[in-house]
Amino acid sequence: MRGDNHNSVWAGSAKPVVYPCLQENKTTDVLIIGGGIAGILCAYKLHHAGVDCLLAEAGEICGGITKNTTAKITLQHGLLYDKMIRRFGEDKARLYAEAQTLAIEEYARLCNHIDCDHVTKDNYVYSLNDRKKIEKEVAALNRIGVCAEYSDASELPIKVAGAVRVKNQAQFHPLKFLYAIAQDLPIYEHTKVVELMPGMARTNHGEITYKKLIVATHFPILNKHGLYPLKLYQHRSYVIALKGAQNMNGMYVDASDTGLSFRNYGDLLLLGGGSHRTGKHGGCWQELEAFAETHYPGTEIVGKWATQDCMTLDGIPYIGQYSKSTPDIFVSTGFNKWGMTNAMVTAELLCDLVQGKTNPYAEVFSPSRSVLRPQLAINAFETVVGLLTPTVPRCPHLGCALNYNRDEHSWDCSCHGSRFTEQGEVIDNPATDNHRRII
């Protein structure tokens, strides 16, 4: 039994597409590793651009983080834009917002022909106690051409200091969408890449020769390039599905990493939160259940699940060339809890880059940008502590100590976010192998 054996509402309401495993050696121009939303969208864009490509997935497509999203399609990624303007300037903030807007428009175009519960909604980022932050974000968005306004978010069951409202965002059923667009793509499931060499990937079912490589494995699997174990950490968060709660006309998220999010799906309210760094302690489902008891008395919890997200040093994903020394390898990671739009940005951007085309958004998302951010010191400290803690079991990724997660009955690594069942089987990467010693 998996440590995260709760099913999302998406997994329980979409019929999966089944693909064969690799049966023989293959040759392709572009190999994509990872069958989550980013990998599938890359395969879709490349395939429709006439590029010879192939996707290898170790398990089943959409079987990892993708099935556990809250599936909000929005350019509002917390209170990001005021920070971006201060750190990088208006031009980069504008380009980031443009890339997200194009992603929203592309989803709308594709979903027009797919029955996937795509609905246009207003999106709100709220703060419990800091109206000034909200006002600054509204001003920042308006300065870069995004129509944003202040709101009191009166639909929420809690009092807030204010919220940033952006209209014409969206929500959808991610698995209905992805299973539809994946229908005719060259995908191989249960095909685990066990060794990577220049121009060749060895899998558990044969070898794949490639010219270009896209690593879309949530957390990148190549440790010796790009410093990703220092540039990323993972954050765990939780969702409960409530029946009998009020209808939400908008989508809401707290500006704080540990706050709550709200959205409807049909007659259900999806309440998210309880977040914490993977391998640490946090509110988990208990926090959400307590909130529901207080603010939605008489409702029924009909589903609960958890997910985790790769977090970058500066709040912007790493999408582009894996490292300066690997010109034919590309990466997509670090969506900072906003995987829907950033997965589409990934597909558009990497489809250009693997074909040698320029892309106006490449510099914003470049994985080779500066790592000199305060979060770097925190990540380095957690790694040192994990390596020096004299406990077993250990994570096979880089040897950090594992901590037992009593809420999900799993062994979790606070260094880089790998997770394992009580029996030692790997649940979440970057670890690709089971850990061997159980206590």
Residues in the chain: 439
Look at residue 155 and tell me if it is in a domain: no
pLDDT of residue 5: 45
pLDDT tier for residue 240 given thresholds of 50, 70 and 90: very high
Look at residue 379 and tell me if it is in a domain: yes
Residue 3 has pLDDT above 70, yes or no: no
Instruction: Please give the backbone phi and psi of residue 279, each rounded to the nearest 5 degrees, phi first.
Output: 95, -10
Residue finishing a domain among 365, 383, 399: 365
CATH number where 325 lies: 3.50.50.60
Residue finishing a domain among 344, 365, 386: 365
pLDDT tier for residue 391 given thresholds of 50, 70 and 90: confident
Residues 226 and 318 reside in one and the same domain: yes
Q: What domain range is 44 assigned to?
A: 26-69+176-230+314-365
Residues 405 and 361 reside in one and the same domain: no
Residues 219 and 321 reside in one and the same domain: yes
The pLDDT tens digits for 101-120 are 999 999 999 999 999 999 99
CATH number where 392 lies: 2.102.10.10
Look at residue 280 and tell me if it is in a domain: no
Look at residue 54 and tell me if it is in a domain: yes
Residue 370 has pLDDT above 60, yes or no: yes
The pLDDT tens digits for 36-57 are 999 999 999 999 999 999 999 9
Look at residue 164 and tell me if it is in a domain: no
CA distance linking residue 160 with residue 136, whole number of Å:
16
Residues 325 and 417 reside in one and the same domain: no
pLDDT of residue 156: 97
Q: What is the DSSP string of 214-280?
A: EE-SSS-S-TTSTTHHHH-EEEEEEEEEEESPPP-SEEEEESSTTS-EEEEETTEEEEEEEEEETTS
Look at residue 382 and tell me if it is in a domain: yes
How many structural domains comprise the chain? 2
DSSP letter for 4, please.
T
Stretch 357-384: mean pLDDT, rounded?
A: 94
Token pair recorded at residue 196:
């990577």
pLDDT tier for residue 4 given thresholds of 50, 70 and 90: very low
CB distance 236 to 277 below 8 Å:
yes
Residues 226 and 182 reside in one and the same domain: yes
pLDDT of residue 2: 31
Residues 400 and 380 reside in one and the same domain: yes
pLDDT of residue 43: 98
Look at residue 424 and tell me if it is in a domain: yes
Residue 227 has pLDDT above 90, yes or no: yes
pLDDT of residue 436: 57
Look at residue 438 and tell me if it is in a domain: no
Residues 351 and 380 reside in one and the same domain: no
pLDDT tier for residue 258 given thresholds of 50, 70 and 90: confident
pLDDT tier for residue 437 given thresholds of 50, 70 and 90: low
